[in-house]
Amino acid sequence: MNRKEFLSDCGKMGMAGVALSLFPWLESCSEKAKQEVQGEKVQIGIIGTGSRGLFHIKHLVQMPNVEVVALCDNYRPHLEDAAQYYPEAKLYDDYRRMLENKDVKGVIIATPLYLHAPMTIAAMEAGKAVFCEKSMAYTMDEALEVYNCRKELGGVLFIGQQRLFDPKYVKAMQMIHEGVIGEVVGVRNYWYRNNNWRREVPSPELERHINWRLYSEYSRGLMTELACHQLQNGSWAMGQLPKQVMGAGSLIHWDKEDERDVYDNVCAIFTYPNGVNMTFESIISNKHFGMGEQILGTKGTIDLVTAMHYTDEPAPKGSGMHQLIEQIESGVMSNSVFAGTSWAAESSALAPGMPIMQNVKVVSGESSVGAEADGSKELLEAFLHAVVTGKQPEKVLEESYYATQFALLADKAMHENAILTLDEKYKVPYTPF
């Protein structure tokens, strides 16, 4: 099921309005919104055509309403790779030059983290709609600067927090807001891999250029590259922002083979005003548990990655027979699913769980480029829609902003070995769902 099908299903049940009121950034997918941009062709430029940029290009080539007119990268082999998909596009090695191109209405920025803020601000100042990969910025000050720049100039700014557009997350959060799992009492996130997180380097002088993720001069490592995606789960589920953050990080394994200086082992706890804790753990020298994101409630648990709902309460007794009564009362006959092996009180650990929707594609989290069906394509579609309409979707930027701020704050807490709160100066208006 994709986002359109999800909204269509909501519509059939008379729930499309509810879904859109909860998650207004999905508006771009409504029938009305589609008509609004029908026949429009969006002209896009891409800054950064490495692995993530190419990942977006592979989605873009499937979209008839987009024309990539400009490509930019200061590493020639990457630029040439991208040019194969769009031979007509103008090629640049300086993003400032590309931003002068009036044909470019929107830009996609998929560059190293330390370049996100300056490039985003320059693009907004050049009047372009911007989709920048996450995290939003390399520092907390830069993130605020980007946010304020967007506020001042208006225009469209998307950050690559694709879970906000992933149908299974949307459905899960809707269920959580409806109270299906009761009161939220915990949020668990983890992301394990067992690889060195390196890209192949053709010559030693390109080490930092290509493997920028491994060096704190360009990136904040696991917190900005992985945690940022998962940290929005707590605020999305509870409509609150963490009041404090603590954590520990270390470099325990991969430093043996290179000179990296970002942690390869991190653990952070985010505490919300209501006392609920959200955890994030990442180790890249063991992959057994893969990627996990779970919202724990007083009545059950929703696993966001697998889109499964586990109840802490026994299976409803006799629900099939009760349906049967309703059928007879209404003068109809249809099948009631209720037979099976013996009913018995279940322990939650053994409860088999129920899928929250059909045709779910589960993402392992193993790829460091991106995965199909993780919401990236839907996010891109929403951005292209916004480029045409010029409308910034509600709330989505604030979610992305705080995901970045708390990823950076946790990284700071780890380095300072301290319990930290977000400074007042970084607080921007936040509307709970």
Q: Which residues bind another protein (CB under 8 A)?
A: 315, 317-318, 320-321, 324-325, 327-344, 346-347, 350-355
Residue 68: closest CA among 94, 35, 45, 99: 45
* Closest to another protein by CB, 21 or 335: 335
- Least distance between another protein and beta carbon 163 (Å): 24
The structure tokens listed for 333 are 């006959």
- Least distance between another protein and beta carbon 171 (Å): 15
* Closest to another protein by CB, 13 or 332: 332
Question: CA 212 to CA 195: how far, in whole Å?
Answer: 16
* Closest to another protein by CB, 38 or 349: 349
The structure tokens listed for 349 are 């650990």
Question: CA 401 to CA 137: how far, in whole Å?
Answer: 9
Quick count: other Cβ atoms within 10 Å of Cβ 25?
21
Task: Give phi and psi for 100, each to the nearest 5.
Answer: -80, -15
Residue 44: closest CA among 2, 82, 4, 80: 82
* Closest to another protein by CB, 248 or 354: 354
* Closest to another protein by CB, 41 or 317: 317
- Least distance between another protein and beta carbon 315 (Å): 6
* Closest to another protein by CB, 88 or 329: 329
* Closest to another protein by CB, 194 or 348: 348
The structure tokens listed for 176 are 């959580």
- Least distance between another protein and beta carbon 99 (Å): 48
Cβ neighbours of residue 350 closer than 8 Å, sequence gap 6 or more: none
Cα dist. 65→62, 86, 224, 284, 297 in Å?
Answer: 9, 14, 32, 39, 42
- Least distance between another protein and beta carbon 116 (Å): 40
Question: CA 308 to CA 275: how far, in whole Å?
Answer: 25
Please report which residue ranges of 197-311 form alpha helices under DSSP H. 207-210, 222, 228-230, 232-238
- Least distance between another protein and beta carbon 370 (Å): 25
- Least distance between another protein and beta carbon 333 (Å): 4
